Amino acid sequence: MVTSTAIQLEPTGTPREEVESVVVRFAGDSGDGMQLTGSQFTLATALAGNDLATFPDFPAEIRAPIGTTFGVSAFQINFGARKIATAGDAPDVLVAMNPAALKVNLVDVKAGGTVIIDTGTFSDRNLKKAGFGSNPLEDGSLDGYQVVTIDISKLTMEAVKAYGLSNKEALRSKNMWTLGLIYWLYDRDRETTTNWLRGKFAKRPDIADANIAALDAGHIYGETAELPGGMHGYSVLQAEITPGLYRTITGAEALAWGLAAGAKLANLRMVLASYPITPASTLLHILAGMKQFDIVTFQAEDEIAAVCAAIGASFAGSLGVTSSSGPGIALKGEAIGLAIGVELPLIVVNSQRAGPSTGLPTKTEQSDLYQAVFGRNADAPLVVLAASSSANCFDIGIEAVRLATKYMTPVMVLSDGYMGNASEPWLIPDFDSYAPFPVAFADHEQIGAEGYLPYVRDEKTLARPWARPGTPGLQHRIGGIERADGSGNISYDAENHQRMTNLRAAKINGIANDIPLQGVEQGNESGKLAVVGWGSTYGPISRAVGNMRDLDHDVSHIHLRHIWPLPRNLGDLLAGFDQVLVPEMNNGQLVTLLRAQYLVAAEPLNKVNGQPFKIVEIEAAIQSRLDREFGEAK
Amino acid sequence: MVTSTAIQLEPTGTPREEVESVVVRFAGDSGDGMQLTGSQFTLATALAGNDLATFPDFPAEIRAPIGTTFGVSAFQINFGARKIATAGDAPDVLVAMNPAALKVNLVDVKAGGTVIIDTGTFSDRNLKKAGFGSNPLEDGSLDGYQVVTIDISKLTMEAVKAYGLSNKEALRSKNMWTLGLIYWLYDRDRETTTNWLRGKFAKRPDIADANIAALDAGHIYGETAELPGGMHGYSVLQAEITPGLYRTITGAEALAWGLAAGAKLANLRMVLASYPITPASTLLHILAGMKQFDIVTFQAEDEIAAVCAAIGASFAGSLGVTSSSGPGIALKGEAIGLAIGVELPLIVVNSQRAGPSTGLPTKTEQSDLYQAVFGRNADAPLVVLAASSSANCFDIGIEAVRLATKYMTPVMVLSDGYMGNASEPWLIPDFDSYAPFPVAFADHEQIGAEGYLPYVRDEKTLARPWARPGTPGLQHRIGGIERADGSGNISYDAENHQRMTNLRAAKINGIANDIPLQGVEQGNESGKLAVVGWGSTYGPISRAVGNMRDLDHDVSHIHLRHIWPLPRNLGDLLAGFDQVLVPEMNNGQLVTLLRAQYLVAAEPLNKVNGQPFKIVEIEAAIQSRLDREFGEAK
Amino acid sequence: MNAPAKPSALLAKDFASDQEVRWCPGCGDYAILKGVQKTLADIGTAPENVVFVSGIGCSSRFPYYMSTYGFHTIHGRAPAFATGIKLANPQLDVWLVTGDGDGLSIGGNHLLHVLRRNVNMQILLFNNEIYGLTKGQYSPTSKQGLRSPSTPMGSLDRPLSPALFALGANATFVARAVDTQQKHMPGVLLRAHAHQGASFVEIYTNCIVYNDGAFASFAEKNTAAEGELVLEQGAPMIFGKDRDKGIRLKRDTLSLEVVQLGVNGITEDDLLRHDETNRVLAGLLAEMRNPDFPVAVGVLYCKAAPAYDTAVHEQIAAARSAKGAADINKLLRGGATWTVGD
Amino acid sequence: MNAPAKPSALLAKDFASDQEVRWCPGCGDYAILKGVQKTLADIGTAPENVVFVSGIGCSSRFPYYMSTYGFHTIHGRAPAFATGIKLANPQLDVWLVTGDGDGLSIGGNHLLHVLRRNVNMQILLFNNEIYGLTKGQYSPTSKQGLRSPSTPMGSLDRPLSPALFALGANATFVARAVDTQQKHMPGVLLRAHAHQGASFVEIYTNCIVYNDGAFASFAEKNTAAEGELVLEQGAPMIFGKDRDKGIRLKRDTLSLEVVQLGVNGITEDDLLRHDETNRVLAGLLAEMRNPDFPVAVGVLYCKAAPAYDTAVHEQIAAARSAKGAADINKLLRGGATWTVGD
Ligand SMILES: Cc1ncc(C[n+]2csc(CCOP(=O)(O)OP(=O)(O)O)c2C)c(N)n1
Ligand SMILES: Cc1ncc(C[n+]2csc(CCOP(=O)(O)OP(=O)(O)O)c2C)c(N)n1
Ligand code: SF4
Ligand code: SF4
Ligand SMILES: [Mg+2]
Ligand SMILES: [Mg+2]
């Protein structure tokens, strides 16, 4: 919501309107560099002291034919002088680099919003490719918007003429021209982008220069040209942000670093075994570049081999990690069951995407909770964690390592495509402030009268000891057939199976005592309505609850990061609310778990169109629940 | 419970005691032919007009060293003059062919029960192999039992001396000698066994003769010898049984035949693609021998290939079926998601076994309900059916075919190792009385203005049409990426995904209108306690509820055969009971589903020691729930 | 099954669906699509009798672009789906499209088994030596040392040779074609189609985005003559711009060498003649790699063997004639039964 | 890692665990167990440095019977577990035990990839041409026509040759041994152990219950001499009770023939000499089958190549020396940062 609050004077004397927050979407062809533009703008905005959130939206095709709607790539950013929770429901400003980008994105723009259009691309051919029957610049389609038409293509060509690039190369700077204009619009500093361009094109200084010239030209255009549509500059004040050192971080980065940090705290080598799949591959790519952290990455022949190699690595005394997305996780189910049976640490990262089956690989969804909690043969409990934001992935990564190694158990970490790709500002923690939890491998002291017993448990955690092959005297054999309590030898004994089944369940349930009590993110600890979320719905729920609370509604936000076991106070907490609403980007999964566990009449709010919730959608749902309650009270 | 009711006179003048029901367990080394003995006794008992139920208990090893406890094979039969629900909690009579068999099985025998022992095998060596420190025949271990010691080995050798067999071959008739004795004990006719022996050893008439001689000798021994322990003959009156033609049938047979029958009713070729795994392989073996029914069986390279081949067969217009056990089903999850997405018929049979992971392959469990209902990535609903007994597998097989083809959906059929192997008498139905449900494949009439649209749905069932490749004009392309409503072409459209997700869920939910209302097996439609079961717990629950009702307790038995969707009246039905108890051979799975669906405070009763519930266990649980309720009422 | 009237004179475009082709501009897969459509027109099969089955990958989008029946399945499993289709209906003309990742990484086992079973279908493996769809990770056929997002310091895996793998799998038909060689491809595909059993065709295709030029040393206009040996049954193995080079067998070491015709008195008669029924020879040819050798294309190996799907249905027919018409009531009443009277 | 003191003079029994061996009496696996225990004693490795990894099957119970570390995993996936173990700790001496079903049916793909990657381990494939544990279904190596519970009318699949498969997978070491030949086996296993990389050893083993006598034509006392060719590097290929038969190369057809020494003037010099570095020769030898040929046992192929796990850790070492000691705080502060002041 853009709220004008004051008028400032530009250095040049032009007035700059002060706004509290803005949503800008850059949209163009896959080849137009919209993701780069977006991330540069994100950085400049962070440096300007705003809070922010982003939503990159990639096309499904690798490189669709130029100018087609299915080749449109977009990047949305919401930034402001206050806490920003989501990438924004609807853009205040849409930058459309071609007709297809306009076609796909216009519907989302807020009524009366600004649409900046590169008219240089609005040829008949491109209009047709985008599926326009007539030219939207002329047929009234844009009525109701502030339309700013600029021939950005032409202006860019002019700006970079001096550098003797080919037409094609020259046109590639269009995005920088546009970025320059938007920098002017929101009063951002160009320096980091200039430096970044110099670094990126270190081997082609002519291209670096051309891009910088385009960036400057766009900026100057804003300063000097009389802008169409009466557009003028804005300023967005700094947000109140906890002081400290910041960076932007995507969920994939945060998770990779969190896992590396966890391995360090556990004093273990990490072996990540994975098989590429969108959107999970990024984690593999990042960790593949971190070999100096004693991280082994292994691109296996498939997901089954990946999880098995990870379990093998854990058997050998390293931290085995595997990562995939829904369909790949499905393939890992059998092997995860083995890890549960042999009780070895294992981390399984699921970057969820829309399904079922191949589904919509580039679209987000959080529909793998059932699979995480229930998706294996037999009684096979494990730990399930869900990160609530890009930055939260760091701490979730560490928590996963802590629980996996302390309890000798697989831990499933749920992330999603949205969170993985979206970046947000992150107050960089001091790693030295994290308490180490080094693994104490079994040693010769564990050798008793009957030799080493790999299934004698720690009384408190119920974890079995971890003996590293290579250690003299601790030779033992484990496997997927039921193991005798104590020795771990094959046992077909009926009562042993009952006991081991109970122990496996008790071990996982007991972890509830080693995780934080469930807190309330916003609002009271009891009341009329609790909105219970998990995962990347954090942003829209927190803003929606915040907005409704600002309107004096009695609603609280509870957000789960521990999905299994659930926090031990959760049942009591939920019992304190008249109604419980569970928004999920699936057809209702956490809600099933809560109803079954606590017999609480939790209601689902589902959305499965591959897009994150809009704040208004959750606000509306809250309103309707509160209305209903009033209705009943009458 | 053996209840003496009267004394009859034997033809020879010896008194025969009349009993209402008896539990006999045959136990011996794997090589002793106990399963054959058991099935012959079963047949003779059925012919004698008793009702019966059996429980074969195989050793986990293929062929363990002779005389070891882990090589013991047992077969239990419960038969009587009344309705028999289970194989019996505790044997009245144990036949122990060697020390190991005694060692393993004695604990289960009812206090005061009869133990018949082949003393010929009680050598020091065998006692040691079985892990006896001292000779149980001498050390008082058998106090409290009626012990009948006979040197069966020696008597058998003598009986078959005439046939010139090798020692080893001769000794193989021991089981027939024993069977002869037991036939005498319960007044069974030897003729079917004699005929069967003649058929089985048609090529070795000497062996047939020897076996028959042993059988007769055992029988004569009973008639003439003064039996140790004062043992005498019993008679078990005929049960009141619905008139008609009967046979014994195992769950695996019934399911194979049910699927074949279903395919016939649907007018389809069946393609079963499977990969061997205990206890599921039997279905593959049976169907592999039924090629004359136009059944193609395919032993694939693994479970994934198996399910994929089955889906391919369905795509091509046949009925694709795949079968496995827990770990194998886990591997099929990804492909099942595809079948859900492309909406093709598919039947997935899960013969459950104890887990997790490899678990206890030869032991029974019903712990794959979570996996069946929830075990896939994304929102991926399908139909889940569970057979309640060996014979019920026939109707469940037909129902699976009906639903899969009518609704173009995968159907998961849950059976288990116990049900698959156990045989029970079956009133053979007249197949002509089953209403056919032939598949109407799409034809040229479905070609509209936009061509053939594979995702235009039937308004009532929401099923899409099924077009068989080879049909001119209906060429279409489908796949795992989200399909456009109507055309089925790839669609990345957000709202289409939402719509298709809703349609997939609605189609499956709607099936609730096409399945029978949930009935009550025994007891009232509302009351103090409902015991809700599924699968092979039918027997013990029904007998336990029956017994408790005989004692005038207010308890009802509800048994689910449709697990998903649940019968549409189930919520209301359960709401009518003060308490709901859900016995399961798992750690509590159906109970989760019921609590989540209906917010009913259902309580679990779990058993996971690889053995079916005992009747007394369920009786005790019922009692404790009823006590508690009375307690509260005070 | 349906016996549709054979449409007369089909054209390549009759095999194109109405779906927009969505590969990257310049992707080699376009050329293969053209080649396949032309081949089908040449064969003259009715589109409704043809099924294209694929896994997941850029290449595996293929079925959507054909006017035939099509099934875009899941990653790596297309051979199993295709087998199921043939088991259900052996009359269908099944074409399987897979990639080097789909077919040899996750799907290696299914490919192995469909080849050894000899299920009657054509298997086209689009080898671009990269994972295209997932944005450029190395594949099992990538050259060692390839830097990719998952191997920033260079890949360490020793690559598979798809043809050698197929021969090791007991395949009965192994051939190669090249995306850019539109004249050559249909001939190879026609041969694959004519073969009864699993016909394996490796097609080199250029991923212009993630592995551009992987086959530049033999697949381009100016390199083909020197970089490639076009196999023809019975013909001496000659190649080169001036057709002046040949392949000779070094008998004692069981290996091949490149020789110059006319030099040291070497004539055509000294050269190996292609014998596509010789599996050992096929193995030697499969291993020829630039720059030391030309890359062999065409039919490397072809040997008759019964097709699996046919044999399966022969067993069914035999069982039916031996055991008589299927009768469920008879089935239920087989074995020991007894009657309980009223 | 631990560097344990080398125990002196280990005996075979030092490698036996306390677990009762539970194969069927008479199963060929017992002999292999003995052979492996003897080999390990001969090698003299400390038991704590050895890991046995297996899948599922009768054969895969192997690890329980060894006094080393052991991991009985899941069906078909042992190569992946073993790879993970080596990636975590390349110092461990890893032995993989699998069956013809475990390794070539469900696990074919993992075997393929561990071989082509050349991960340093010994792979023992117990080939009994049957699924033992699941009670006798045919396997991918079963002879065509085998009647089994799943193929009552005879199996139709064309069998795989494990050795040929391994060669097609680019394996660097391929050998064969026989359960009954206790003298021969340890030598082969020692060679496998000495080889850096994935050493593939097919061991013929008799399933006395479900496939008794499958190898009777060469694996029994009275058939071995005539039915088997024992390979030795550099030695002429002679076999027969009277050592009077040999293998000769038919040069023009690239095939082998059995010849009689002394007949038609044939001498040892006419015979092939074994060259285990020649993959083409190995392929020819792998295909020799009774009754026309003797079955080749011993080391068919051995060629040096870098081990994958070693190379992986070299990259890690290189990265560490290039990028300096790992520092999480530095990592988090890399790239663009900014400070928000109080
Ligand atoms: C189970 C599963 N794992 C992984 C993926 C991701 N994935 C899709 S295509 C592909 C590899 C494609 O490579 P290739 O077969 O060579 O095809 P290309 O794109 O190069 O034509 C991968 C890893 C998936 N879709 N499903
Ligand atoms: C996922 C899975 N599928 C199937 C099985 C059943 N299974 C166990 S062992 C086996 C085959 C064993 O054959 P092989 O590897 O040749 O070993 P053998 O018993 O002959 O030594 C099968 C099919 C299983 N345990 N797990
Ligand atoms: S990524 Fe490569 S293989 Fe995929 S469509 Fe683009 S060019 Fe073709
Ligand atoms: S079934 Fe066969 S392979 Fe298995 S233990 Fe018995 S003899 Fe050995
Ligand atoms: Mg590829
Ligand atoms: Mg085997």
Residue contact A276–C138, C-beta within 8 A? no
Which pLDDT tens digit goes with each residue over C110-139? 999 999 999 999 999 999 999 999 999 999
Q: Is C209 on the interface with D (CB under 8 A)?
A: no
Distance in angstroms (rounded) separating the CA atoms of residues D289 and D292:
6
Give, using CA atoms, the residue closest to atom 2 of ligand 4.
D207
Which pLDDT tens digit goes with each residue over C31-51? 999 999 999 999 999 999 999
Residue D129 CB less than 6 A away from ligand 2: no
Q: What CATH number did the domain enclosing C216 receive?
A: 3.40.50.970
- pLDDT range class, residue A358, cuts 50, 70, 90: very high
> Domain for residue C109, yes or no?
yes
Is there a contact between A227 and A252 (Cβ–Cβ < 8 Å)?
no
Contacts of C251 in chain D (CB under 8 A): 249, 251
- Report, in this order, helix, strand and coil percent for chain A, each rounded to 5: 40, 25, 35
Residue contact A312–D338, C-beta within 8 A? no
Contacts of C169 in chain D (CB under 8 A): 160, 165, 168
Nearest chain A residue (CA) to D340: A243
DSSP symbols for D197-214 = SEEEEEEE---TTTSTTT
Q: Closest by alpha carbon to C150, among C99, C210, C205?
A: C210
- Identify whether residues D117 and D253 lie together within a single domain: no
Give, using CA atoms, the residue closest to atom 6 of ligand 4.
D24
Residues 6+ apart with CB under 8 A from B367: A377, A378, A379, B326, B352, B354, B355, B585, B586, B587, B589, B608
Contacts of D76 in chain B (CB under 8 A): 302
Sign, CA dihedral D70-D76-D78-D84, equals: negative
Residues 6+ apart with CB under 8 A from C3: none
Entry field: residues in chain A: 634
CA of D127 to the centre of ligand 6 (A): 6
Centre a 10 Å sphere on the Cβ of residue C9 and count the other Cβ atoms it contains.
7
Indicate the residue among D272, D297, D322 that finishes a domain. D272
Distance in angstroms (rounded) separating the CA atoms of residues A163 and A158:
10
> Domain for residue D6, yes or no?
no
**Nearest Cβ partner for B281 among D25, D137, D138:** D137
Give, using CA atoms, the residue closest to atom 17 of ligand 1.
C57
Provide mean pLDDT across the span A383-393.
97
Which pLDDT tens digit goes with each residue over A67-85? 999 899 999 999 999 999 9
Q: Is the pLDDT of residue B73 over 50?
A: yes
Mean pLDDT of chain B: 94
Q: What is the CA radius of gyration of chain B?
A: 27
Residue contact C337–B47, C-beta within 8 A? no
Residues 6+ apart with CB under 8 A from C250: C256, C257
Nearest chain B residue (CA) to D153: B289
Beta bridge partners of C250: C255
Q: Is the pLDDT of residue B296 over 50?
A: yes
Residues 6+ apart with CB under 8 A from B143: none
Residue contact C67–B475, C-beta within 8 A? yes
Q: Is the pLDDT of residue A631 over 50?
A: no
Sign, CA dihedral C162-C167-C170-C176, equals: positive
Question: Which atom of ligand 1 is least distant from the CA of A277?
Answer: 6
ipTM: 0.96
Give, using CA atoms, the residue closest to atom 2 of ligand 3.
C207
Q: Please list the alpha-helical segments (H only) found in B161-280.
A: 167-171, 174-186, 191-200, 205-224, 251-266
- Identify whether residues C180 and C144 lie together within a single domain: yes
Helix axes A303-315, D78-88, angle to 10 degrees: 50
> Domain for residue C113, yes or no?
yes
Residue C27 CB less than 6 A away from ligand 3: yes
Q: Closest by alpha carbon to B401, among B250, B251, B568, B261?
A: B261
Provide mean pLDDT across the span D213-217.
98
Nearest chain D residue (CA) to B304: D106
Residue contact A281–C150, C-beta within 8 A? yes
> Domain for residue D109, yes or no?
yes
Give residue B376's region: left, alpha or beta (phi > 0; psi -120 to 50): beta
- State the smallest CA–CA distance between residue B265 and chain A in angstroms: 31
> Domain for residue D318, yes or no?
no
> Domain for residue D144, yes or no?
yes
Contacts of B335 in chain C (CB under 8 A): 74, 77
- Identify whether residues D122 and D176 lie together within a single domain: yes
How remote is the C-alpha of B606 from its chain's centroid?
19
Q: Which of D30, D33, D56, D58 to mutate to test the pocket of ligand 4 (most atoms within 8 A of CB)?
A: D58
Residue contact C84–B469, C-beta within 8 A? no
- Identify whether residues C97 and C241 lie together within a single domain: no
Peptide bond into A516 cis (omega under 30): no
Q: Please state the domain count of chain D.
A: 2
Beta bridge partners of C151: C148
- Identify whether residues D242 and D205 lie together within a single domain: no
Instruction: Provide the pLDDT for residue B552.
Output: 97
* Dihedral angle, C-alpha A470, A475, A477, A482, nearest 10 °: -120
- Identify whether residues D179 and D154 lie together within a single domain: yes
- Identify whether residues C228 and C253 lie together within a single domain: no
Residues 6+ apart with CB under 8 A from B542: B85, B521, B522, B557, B559
Provide mean pLDDT across the span C216-232.
97
Which pLDDT tens digit goes with each residue over D68-121? 999 999 999 999 999 999 999 999 999 999 999 999 999 999 999 999 999 999
Residue A111 CB less than 6 A away from ligand 3: no
Peptide bond into A15 cis (omega under 30): no
How remote is the C-alpha of B631 from its chain's centroid?
38
Nearest chain A residue (CA) to C106: A302
Which pLDDT tens digit goes with each residue over A543-563? 999 999 999 999 999 999 999
- Identify whether residues C282 and C300 lie together within a single domain: yes
CA of B315 to the centre of ligand 3 (A): 28
CA of C75 to the centre of ligand 5 (A): 12
Instruction: Provide the pLDDT for residue B65.
Output: 84
- Identify whether residues C242 and C230 lie together within a single domain: no
Q: Which range marks the domain in which residue D285 is found? A: 17-235+274-310
- Identify whether residues D63 and D151 lie together within a single domain: yes
Partners for C (CB, 8 Å, 3+ pairs)?
A, B, D
Burial class of residue B367, CB neighbours in 10 A (0-12, 13-18, 19+): buried
Q: Closest by alpha carbon to D254, among C250, C116, C287, C294?
A: C250
Instruction: Provide the pLDDT for residue A9.
Output: 39
- State the smallest CA–CA distance between residue B29 and chain C in angstroms: 27
Residue contact C75–A288, C-beta within 8 A? no
Which pLDDT tens digit goes with each residue over B104-156? 999 999 999 999 999 999 999 999 999 999 999 999 999 999 999 999 999 99
Provide mean pLDDT across the span C313-317.
98
Residue contact B378–A326, C-beta within 8 A? yes
Which pLDDT tens digit goes with each residue over B348-402? 999 999 999 999 999 999 999 999 999 999 999 999 999 999 999 999 999 999 9
Provide mean pLDDT across the span A360-381.
96
Contacts of D81 in chain A (CB under 8 A): 308-309, 311-312, 315
Q: Is the pLDDT of residue C325 over 80?
A: no
- Identify whether residues D247 and D131 lie together within a single domain: no
Ligand minimally distant from the alpha carbon of residue D57: 2
CA of D207 to the centre of ligand 4 (A): 5
- Looking at chain A, the number of H-run helices and the number of E-run strands are 20, 25
Instruction: Provide the pLDDT for residue B1.
Output: 32
Provide mean pLDDT across the span C294-318.
98
Mean pLDDT of chain D: 96
Q: Closest by alpha carbon to A615, among A556, A548, A561?
A: A548
- Identify whether residues D139 and D123 lie together within a single domain: yes
Q: Closest by alpha carbon to D286, among D123, D175, D206, D203?
A: D175
> Domain for residue C323, yes or no?
no
3-state secondary structure D171-196: CCEEEEEECCCCCCHHHHHHHHHHCC
- pLDDT range class, residue B9, cuts 50, 70, 90: very low
Instruction: Provide the pLDDT for residue D8.
Output: 61
**Nearest Cβ partner for B284 among D140, D150, D153:** D150
pTM of the entire predicted model:
0.96
> Domain for residue D191, yes or no?
yes
